[in-house]
Homo-oligomer: A and B are copies of this chain.
Amino acid sequence: MGLKAKQLAQCTVDFDKDGKQSGYFNLPLSVHDDAWGVIRIPIAVIKNGSGPTVILEGGNHGDEYEGPIALGELIRDLDPGKVAGRLIFIPAINLPAVLQARRTSPIDDLNMNRTFPGDANGTSTQQISAFVNDALFPLGDAFLDLHSGGSSLDLMPSAVIEPVADPVQHAKNVAAVTAFDAPLVVVIDNRGDHRTATASAARAGLTVVGTEMAGGGTVSLDALDICRRGVRNVLSHLGVLPPEMATPPRHEQRLFELPGSDAFVLADDDGVFEPFHRNGTMVSRGQPAGRIHFLSHPDRKPAELAYAADGILYGRRQPGRVRPGNCCLVVASPYGGSLK
């Protein structure tokens, strides 16, 4: 078609100005109920002196809350004088999903974290991703993408390493992720899917830190505390905040990884899932993991499921109701890769 896709979003903050600004990037969306309106996505910038630029993203999925809350607090409370460099906050990046408390956008039903690098001429979610990828990533040195388990998963609070091929970038990522000081560190490759925000940021050369903070669609007191501290720890590690804003390490950093498709205990029946263990339990391949009850046929024997990997029970499905293919449990195995 030859025509270059044009960035349509209009931004009310100036990335080059010192101090604290809170504004929006307004993405035009011409729909039945609002022909000439916009999606108005909050963005904030705190800039001071020289130093790296860190992009902090929350709300990539709209039902994950610890990150957006922690970022909002920083936006309101952080003294710009403490900053050495620039912080760009997009705490509710997938605003349509945030407003509906959904993982996916109600506008185009897309999972934003499967739309990168985006498309400036695509649907709304693709346009938002394109804005992040094309307009923000080029400004950044590091990228924090703060996820939680969402409505369907309850995960152990953890910091997440995006795997990259380049050993130097990998070492930087490992260092930044462990600086977060979460109870667990997990390498997650999203089954090799390269359409995530962190994969896209990594391709753009940024240092990347991910998280999974509890979940169940709720705000976890524990995870919120871990997240508040973790963000400051990372920013301090990156030199954008002073060392005294970090907290002393609380957790021994154990590294795990998801062992491919064996990580997942999938339902093969339609019923209600009862797990046999709590998150954090050490489990082994072949061990009974839970069972599916048939509530509409109480005389039928429940179907039993088993683990397919050795490791730690990293997460479980929140809703009791399952259908074939649903992820019931997730096991993380000790990380076998290099740390440098």
Contact = CB atoms under 8 A, between A and B. Distances in A.
Interface of A: 1, 3, 6, 8, 10, 22, 26, 28-40, 42, 44, 59, 61, 63, 65, 68-69, 71-72, 75-76, 89, 91-92, 95, 98-99, 101-104, 108-109, 111, 113-114, 117, 121, 149-154, 191-195, 203, 216-219, 221, 224, 261, 264, 266, 268, 270, 272-278, 293-299, 301-302, 317-321, 324-327, 330
Contacts of A40: 266, 268, 296, 324-325
B296 A98 contact: yes
B33 A192 contact: no
Contacts of A29: 325
A37 to B, nearest CB: 4
A288 to B, nearest CB: 14
Contacts of A273: 219
Contacts of A302: 72
Number of copies: 6
B327 A35 contact: yes
Contacts of A38: 264, 266, 325, 327
Contacts of A99: 296
B104 A298 contact: no
A184 to B, nearest CB: 16
B217 A320 contact: yes
A176 B90 CA distance: 46
Contacts of A299: 22, 42, 44, 75-76
Contacts of A297: 42, 268
8 contacts: A30-B103, A32-B104, A33-B151, A76-B299, A89-B298, A216-B318, A221-B278, A268-B297
A35 B150 contact: yes
A191 B274 contact: no
Contact of A275 (B42, B193, B219, B293): B219
A95 B275 CA distance: 23
A2 to B, nearest CB: 10
Given A31-B104, A40-B268, A217-B318, 18 more contacts: A6-B192, A28-B193, A33-B319, A35-B149, A35-B151, A36-B152, A37-B264, A37-B325, A38-B325, A42-B296, A44-B298, A44-B299, A59-B295, A72-B295, A75-B298, A218-B317, A218-B320, A270-B270
A191 B273 CA distance: 33
Interface centre among A98, A99, A299 (most CB of B within 10 A): A299
A190 to B, nearest CB: 8
Contacts of A216: 216, 218, 318
